[in-house]
Amino acid sequence: MRRCFMVSIMVTMLLALLHTTTLANTEEDDDTVSVIIEVDGEPGEHQKYIETYYPSIDVVATYDKLFHGLALQGDPKKLAKMESLEFIKAVHPVTTYEANSVGPPPIEDIQIEVENNRKAHSLNKNKSNAVVPEAVNNTSYTGKGVKVGVVDTGIDYNHPDLAKNYTQGYDLVDLDDDPMETVASQGIPTLHGTHVAGIIAADGKLKGVAPDAEIYAYRALGPGGQGTSVQVIAALEQAVKDGVDMINLSLGNAVNGPDYPTSIAVNRAVDLGVAVVTANGNSGPENWTVGSPATASKALAVGALTMPQAVPFLYEPTNDKTIAITPMAGSQAWDLDKDYQVVHTTGKPTNVRGKIVLMERGKIPFYEKAKMAEEAGAEAVVIYNNEQGALQGSVENEKDPLTIPVAATTKQAGEWLVNKSQKDAVYLETTYKQTKKNIADFSSRGPVTVDWDIKPEVIAPGAKILSTVPGGYRELQGTSMAAPHVTGAMALLKQAHPDWSVEQMEGALKTTALPLGKQGQLYDPIVQGMGQIRPKLAINTDTIIYDPLLSFGKITGYKKSKTVDLVIENTTAQDQSYSFDIPSMKKGQHFQLPKNFTVNAHERKTVQVKLDVVSQQLEEGIYQGWLTLNQEKKKYHLPYLFVNQTADYPKAMGFDFSLKPFSDDSYMYQLYVTDPVKSVTVNLYNSATLLYERPFVTIDDPKIGMNEGEIDKRDLGEPGVYKALITVQLENGEYESYETEIEITEERS
């Protein structure tokens, strides 16, 4: 089985924006630069040494809680002289970028109508399926007094909906006290952190989940929304030092492993009493797509939920034909109030005033096609695919946004309309279909490799989320948007129960979550974890189940018995009785569960859930399902999972190489390995012809986890864009291959 994965291990925010950017190093050699170094030993001692012997280098910050390091500023040439210092383990430079284009302008004039249930709104008087964050808060709490750290791209703290709640912050990119979002003069502008912060605690025209929470912003991702893992770790450490109660991490990478550095830092932060909520990733719907830091065992990882929406369809009444359409990003909402004639055109539209223009996908960009139709007076545009499958696209344009709706449809539907319109006039009506809430296709699935944890642990709204951005408001989607809903809910829990531990708050949120399903069957645990969060029930729960997602790990050998300790807390003043439903017998697996037990008032009890597996009676792969715990009339559905022998998870991932800091002729590579393997080879192929070019890297006997090494500049070969084929030789002699794309440039300094 072949899998594609991201080359870069640079920590990248999980945006759902559909635009392409070009990255270029804009740092000048004679400028003062910022770096973060990892060190052996006590950072404070090394700070004194640098201040004594390198007085021209400024030590901006020291880090000793989550990792050992120093943040430095100085002339690049003087910083380079420090490379030989034995206590320096690694150097993490700051890189800036330029963009070819950015997204459309934000919505400046917003109207939000809050009804009795606070869930309905209108945006610019158009029909909209946008979800407002406050809809999640069905409690009387507002997060007052709770300190929430947002590690992201920074924040527009001048936004009228955020200015009141912004308390303080820090910039780990420029190493100063100003965590403002990147603006155009600095490179690719960002808006992600402002959107995330608004979901948590906007308090103006738009309301966040916890509108009275205090926002602490940490800019760890710079221009274009990128930064190193150490910048993220340093931001986590700064947030812990600042005394935040919880941290939101709507960012991640493609490495599905529990021991990636950011995952380790997250676990350490939780150990220090700070809750950390992470986005599960936007690489679904395939399994094994969750990435660090959501892979951290103590992170509260969040998947994305789509809420009920009124989805537009086109209807042709003569033939009783319904045509599915997908509105394009950047277009106006599809809100046609009567039927319109559809006209097919292959060139510049003419005689289309007041009509729907039908166009085939081709070489001309979607925006240009739609703009020609708009200028000719078209009412709307439908672009149909020129190949089989669904079509999604964008017509975003910052300088001259479209004023008409634009949607995509399939090749089959488009050709049907072309044929009909050539014979007779065809008129299309707009109808709407109400969808049900569901798991978003883009939401990354678990489990985690190596330790086989179930991720995500909960789900929350993550599609068409309306929130703040610099200069206004915008809808975005992604698990980046789902995570801050959960962070906001945690703020409500913290206000309601200030004496609860992180484990209690997370346990309450998981215990009371609602698992989703279809036709009486619950969706798989690795899709939704415990299910959709319900803050009010979590605040008032009479039972807290700690770590209710039951992972029995990997089963090897002929027969195995594995036991998981389940801790249950009774939060009431009365004793409570519990019982498990005994699951039906399945070939090769058998559960041993306590039938009836009592937990005394205000006490916790540990019960054992035992699983017996006869491995040879089962096929290889993931086995998952649900156990049911009863407490009077309540039922708690507990997900379980084990991997029999092996599964189709990637054995290697996250290949990356970059110039070694303070070096002109040596490069570093990284590769994450998830299983014991004999060797890994990386070969390069011509990206155009797919012909073999040359060997690149060979790793014999790699270790499980991160493998690092060096490549001499002379061994890189000719510059260019290549297909990199990563081939893994397994211990049984079999081979698995993974493909990605890398670029070797002439100048990488």
Q: Hey, which residues are catalytic here?
A: 152, 192, 480
DSSP type of residue 319 = G
Q: How far apart are CA 571 and CA 207, in angstroms?
A: 31
- Enter the DSSP assignment of 367: H
Q: How far apart are CA 163 and CA 155, in angstroms?
A: 10
In the three-class reduction of DSSP (H, G, I as helix; E, B as strand; rest coil), residue 364 is classed as coil
The CA-based diameter of the chain, rounded to the nearest angstrom, is: 86
Q: What three-state secondary structure class fits 676?
A: coil
Pairing of strands 720-730, 550-555: unpaired
Provide the strand spans (E) within 483-534: 517-518, 521-522
**Preceding peptide of 160 cis, ω within 30°:** no
Surface-to-core class of residue 701, CB atoms within 10 Å of its CB (0-12 exposed, 13-18 middle, 19+ buried): exposed
Q: Which amino acid is at 554?
A: K
Pairing relation of β-strands 300-306 and 356-360? unpaired
d(CA 712, CA 455): 39
- For the purposes of burial, counting CB atoms within 10 Å of the CB of 84, is it exposed (0-12), middle (13-18) or buried (19 or more)? exposed
Q: Would you call the peptide bond into 312 cis, given omega within 30 degrees of 0 as the criterion?
A: no
E strands of 371-499, at which residues?
380-384, 406-409, 426-434, 438-439, 458-461, 465-469, 472-476
532/555 Cα distance (integer angstroms): 30
φ and ψ of 422, to 5 deg:
-75, -20
Torsion of CA 627, 632, 634, 639, to 10 degrees: -10
Task: Bin 468: left if φ > 0, else alpha if -120 < ψ < 50, else beta.
Answer: beta
Q: Other CB atoms closer than 10 Å to residue 430's CB: what's the count?
A: 20
**CA torsion angle for 419, 420, 421, 422 (degrees, to 10)?**
50
